Structure 1
Amino acid sequence: MSSTGESIFTGGKLLDDDATPIINAGATSGYHYLVVEGHSRCRGSICSRIFIIGGQHWFIYYYPHADGGLITLQLCLLEGSVDPVKAQFEFTFVEEKDKKELARSRIHGEIFEFRGRYDHHKKVLKREVSEKYVKDDCFIIRCDVVVVGEPPSMQENFTELLLSGLGTDIVFGVGGETFAAHRCVLAARSAVFRALLFSPMKEGTPSTTSVVQIDDMDAAVFKAMLGFMYGDSLPDENEGVLMQHLFVAADRYDLPLLRARCEEMLCKHIGVSTAATILVLADQHGCDKLKTACYGFLGCPANLKAVVQTEGFEHLQRSCPHLMKDIILRMLP
């Protein structure tokens, strides 16, 4: 854990209160000391300086004269966020000799959620617990905080595994580049890869020395497909062209989730330069949703007039003449 320093109260006033510096632990865990001098003269609540742990701004409230012989300590979140901030915390009365302690064992126990501005959680202690630590009318409270993040998802774990290169047992050669991967992951995601890598064929023999050649595919397309199989998001650049090639690759390697994602993105990138090409692609791969989106774009006379001038439309006429009939029929009243 990292120290965020200390807040010192003396004479009922916080030292350096005018400057009130924000102290940053620079980590997801840390601790802060609240030092109170002249404890017997304290009549009201005490608030520490602001300190940062886990990227969040915190401060401590101490109520020394609660009813029933109890004292109350609160850990407060200064600013809220969209999602609740989850944290574990612990208040401990310490002696002077413990003040220089650099770290404490990991906090165990309940995880608290802090929602919104000034949200807080408290710990209530009997006064007798604190009084034995008061020496020369002074005491020290240490507050340990661990901000708990969401555990990584399985997709994030697989993506990290791919990027690290650990445990790879198959190498692909695509477009003059090589890509290392894990055959079990590919087999789990694709029936085509399962047949390719776990069969009596040469590629099915576990070996990192042989390279499986993938023809008729660009290296950038294979890289994006491989990343998607490991849970990575699709690249944003060159979406129109790249998504068309990925759409074909998804069909080739039986990746329905990738196919659906490409279809969704292609529907958003139908334009004058792409409408005819995407329509041919949708027809060849039996994608009715994508065809309907193309027909919707071509249903506008101005759009159709512009598309007719493109090379993609000439390709459509040559390779899929039946689509011309559909376009004409849809243009009729």
Structure 2
Amino acid sequence: MSSFTGVSVVEDHVGSYCRTSAVEAGTDSGYHLLMVNGYSRTKEEKPTGRSISSGAFVVGGYAWLLEYYPNGKNPSCADFISLFLSLVHDDSKVDSKVDATFSFCLVDQVEKQMPMYIHATNKATRFESAGDYSWGISEFLRRDALERSANLKGDSFTIRCDIMVCEDSNTEDPGGHDTKVLVSDLDQHFNILLQTKVGADVTFEVSGETFTAHRCVLAARSKVFMAQLFGPMKEGTSTSGVIHIKDMGANVFRALLRFIYTDSCPEIDNDYMEEEQEMSQGLEEGQEDETIKDDMWLQRLQDLFVAADRYDLQRLKCICEMQLSDNIGASSVMSTLALAEQHHCQGLKEACLKFIQVQSSSCMQTVTTTDGWDHVVSTYPSVLKELFVKLASKQQK
């Protein structure tokens, strides 16, 4: 379990200054919180390339700094918040080097530590105290996405940084051997298990395609699969039994399985290549390929969001919700709003309503001509009422 290493607070009333209450973590893993109070002021005061540093905090015997760039670390990511991590120089350790994995996320509530917008490294990164060896995420989160989200409360938000020290090259065990903690490759082994089908004991049919998987893996990851495969109404128990999945595309189910086995957000662009080619044949001449790809990507993201909710995969649902929130547009906002209402995602719903609230009249004309608008009007009149209230409040300001 990660140890708490303290909290750094960006103080709005004294400018872009960070106050730190640090606690040393004696373990090889720990997390630090950076509370940004007065986000708007940090955005105004710090141009692209300028950062605010946390106070030093200790994990695994090493001191670390978290760098917060309100306007991105470089011009290529000027629309994003950048987060970077660096090893603090220690005079008692000449040219310290350490391998570590790290992750950044927003925490919705500090008390509950609910993670959002998670970005993590898959492999250990080498940090060195000599020179400028900071590592991080240049495009952690678009500023406009943060400003639309429920994570920005009272012009404040909180970042959590988790660190796990994987190797200390200067440490030896009592037997005189180098001690190395290798990065977990559990996800790779489970992915091989899925691909090779060794020991698979359940078969699904989805949109004409068959998939084989392992009951125990599915049940361990999803309460819905647990009930479906091992509950009183369990399915597919006979040797020839096949479980038929309705109202879902084969590519979506394939992506769902990949997430269940690897716990990573699936890259499913290639899975939809054939569908894209078929659909593009029916498009009017002159429609841009980029628009087609964007529409296809958004549709499969919405489908995966629905599938994640159907099988109670909350982490995957959260990832899809974040991406949908980051990619709201005039042509898609109403369909996304309908999904948010149907699947009880208040954060995504608020992001959609905020997006509509700030749009121009010409953009609103585009919104009201979409199929999503008609769907919300006929199916969710209460949502339409909320929208009108927000638009009315905009007119009064």
Give me the TM-score of the superposition, normalised by structure 2: 0.45
Look up the match of 1:203.
235
1:224 is displaced (CA, Å) by 1.0
Q: 1:287 to 1:202 in 2, by over 3 A?
A: closer
Residue identity over aligned pairs, in percent, reads: 41
Q: Secondary structure at the match of 1:172?
A: strand
Verify: 1:84 aligned to 2:126, yes or no. yes
Tell me which of 248, 253, 271 is aligned to 2:306: 248
Verify: 1:182 aligned to 2:210, yes or no. no
Q: Deviations over 1:172-214 (max 9, x none)?
A: 0000000010000000011111111113446262x55321111
Alignment of 1:1-333 (within 5 A): 83-84=125-126, 113=169, 150-201=182-233, 203=235, 205=237, 207-231=238-262, 232-235=264-267, 237=269, 238-302=296-360, 303-332=363-392, 333=396
CA distance in 1, matches of 2:214, 2:239: 10
CA distance in 1, matches of 2:205, 2:377: 35
Q: Do 1:198 and 1:204's aligned partners in 2 also have CA atoms closer than 8 Å?
A: no
Q: Do 1:172 and 1:178's aligned partners in 2 also have CA atoms closer than 8 Å?
A: yes
Q: Do 1:172 and 1:211's aligned partners in 2 also have CA atoms closer than 8 Å?
A: yes
Q: Deviations over 1:73-115 (max 9, x none)?
A: xxxxxxxxx9339xxxxxxxxxxxxxxxxxxxxxxxxx8749x
Q: Do 1:172 and 1:214's aligned partners in 2 also have CA atoms closer than 8 Å?
A: yes
Greater Cα shift, 181-190 or 320-329: 320-329
Structure ID, larger Rg: 1
Q: 1:319 to 1:311 in 2, by over 3 A?
A: same
Letter in 2 for 1:83: T
1:235 is displaced (CA, Å) by 2.2
Q: Do 2:334 and 2:373's aligned partners in 1 also have CA atoms closer than 8 Å?
A: yes
Q: 1:152 to 1:161 in 2, by over 3 A?
A: farther
CA distance in 2, matches of 1:248, 1:168: 26
Q: 1:275 to 1:301 in 2, by over 3 A?
A: same
Q: Do 1:84 and 1:113's aligned partners in 2 also have CA atoms closer than 8 Å?
A: no
Q: 1:185 to 1:84 in 2, by over 3 A?
A: same
Look up the match of 2:175.
none
CA distance in 1, matches of 2:335, 2:228: 31
Letter in 2 for 1:187: A
RMSD: 2.8
1:292 is displaced (CA, Å) by 0.8
Q: Do 2:265 and 2:319's aligned partners in 1 also have CA atoms closer than 8 Å?
A: no
Q: Which runs of 5 or more residues in structure 2 are unaligned?
A: 1-123, 128-166, 171-179, 270-295
Q: Secondary structure at the match of 1:301?
A: coil
Q: Secondary structure at the match of 1:173?
A: strand
Q: How many residues align?
A: 197
Greater Cα shift, 185-194 or 239-248: 239-248
CA distance in 2, matches of 1:83, 1:202: 45
CA distance in 2, matches of 1:240, 1:198: 34
CA distance in 2, matches of 1:186, 1:295: 36
Q: Which runs of 5 or more residues in structure 1 are unaligned?
A: 1-81, 86-110, 115-147
Look up the match of 1:9.
none
CA distance in 2, matches of 1:290, 1:204: 36
Q: Deviations over 1:134-188 (max 9, x none)?
A: xxxxxxxxxxxxxx89444322221221112111110100000000100000000
